[in-house]
Chains A and B, each alone.
Chain A
Amino acid sequence: MSLPDQLESTFSPEEIQFIVENEPIRIFPRITTRKTKRPLPTGGGNNESVRWKLITTNDYNVNNMVAMQSTEVTLWLALLLKQQNKCSIVAPSWLTLKELDRSIQYEKTHADRFCPVPWNWLVLAQVLFKRAPEHFHDPVHELRAKVQDLREVRQLKVLRGLRHLNESHLQLDNLSLLEINELRPFIVNVMDKLRQLHVAKGTMEDEEEG
Chain B
Amino acid sequence: MDINIDDILADLDRDTTAVEYSDPSQQLPSDGTTALMNSSIDASRYKQPQIDISPEKDFKQLMRLWRNERCSPELLSYPFLLMNRMLRRVQEQMDHIENVSMGFLEEYEGLESASTPNNKLQLLCMEAELERVKFVIRSYLRCRLNKVDKYMLYLRQLGDNEDDPSIIPLNELLSGHELQYHEKHSAILLKLLNNSILKHMPPELQAINDTEGSVSMVDEPNWNKFVFIYVKGFPNDPLLEEGESGKLCYTVSISDLNEDVELSVGGIYVMPYSVIRDLLMQEKIELI
Q: Which residues of A pack against B, CB within 8 Å?
A: 1-3, 7-11, 15, 18-19, 22, 31, 33, 42, 46-47, 49-60, 62-63, 76-77, 80-81, 84, 86, 167-175, 177, 180, 184, 187-188, 191-192, 195, 198-199, 202
B257 at the interface (CB under 8 A from A): yes
| B interface residues, how many (CB within 8 angstroms) | 64
Chain A residues near B77 (CB, 8 Å)?
none
Q: 12 more A-B contacts (CB under 8 A) besides A50-B115, A60-B24, A169-B254?
A: A2-B146, A3-B145, A9-B71, A53-B29, A54-B30, A55-B93, A62-B125, A81-B125, A84-B124, A168-B261, A173-B266, A202-B256
Q: Is the CB of A53 within 8 A of B96?
A: yes
Chain B residues near A18 (CB, 8 Å)?
132, 135
19 contacting pairs across A/B (C-beta < 8 A): A3-B143, A3-B146, A46-B115, A51-B122, A53-B96, A54-B30, A55-B30, A55-B133, A56-B133, A57-B59, A80-B128, A84-B124, A86-B121, A169-B269, A169-B270, A172-B228, A187-B226, A188-B225, A198-B257
Chain B residues near A77 (CB, 8 Å)?
125, 129
Q: Which residues of B pack against A, CB within 8 Å?
A: 24, 27-30, 54-56, 59, 63, 67, 70-71, 89-90, 92-93, 96, 100, 103-104, 107, 113-115, 118-119, 121-122, 124-126, 128-130, 132-133, 135, 139, 142-143, 145-146, 149-150, 222, 224-228, 254, 256-257, 259, 261, 266-272, 288
Q: Is the CB of A54 within 8 A of B225?
A: no
A58 to B56, CA, bound (A): 6
Chain A residues near B145 (CB, 8 Å)?
2-3
Per CB-CB distance, the 9 closest pairs between chain A and chain B, nearest first, are A3-B146, A170-B270, A56-B59, A2-B145, A191-B226, A2-B142, A60-B24, A172-B268, A188-B226
A-B contact count (CB 8 A): 148
Checking A49, A81, A175, A191 against B119 with a beta-carbon cut-off of 8 angstroms, the contacting residue is A49
Q: Is the CB of A192 within 8 A of B268?
A: no
Q: Is the CB of B118 within 8 A of A19?
A: no
A87 to B279, CA, bound (A): 42
Q: Is the CB of B119 within 8 A of A188?
A: no
Chain A residues near B128 (CB, 8 Å)?
76, 80
Given contacts A49-B103, A188-B227, contact A59 B267 (CB under 8 A): no
Chain A residues near B139 (CB, 8 Å)?
15
Q: Is the CB of B63 within 8 A of A22?
A: yes
Checking B24, B63, B142 against A19 with a beta-carbon cut-off of 8 angstroms, the contacting residue is B63
Q: Is the CB of B149 within 8 A of A2?
A: yes
Name the residue on B nearest A32 (C-beta). Answer: B118
Checking B55, B104, B269 against A55 with a beta-carbon cut-off of 8 angstroms, the contacting residue is B55
Checking B28, B56, B113, B267 against A173 with a beta-carbon cut-off of 8 angstroms, the contacting residue is B267
Name the residue on A nearest B225 (C-beta). Answer: A192
Given contacts A2-B142, A33-B118, contact A52 B270 (CB under 8 A): no
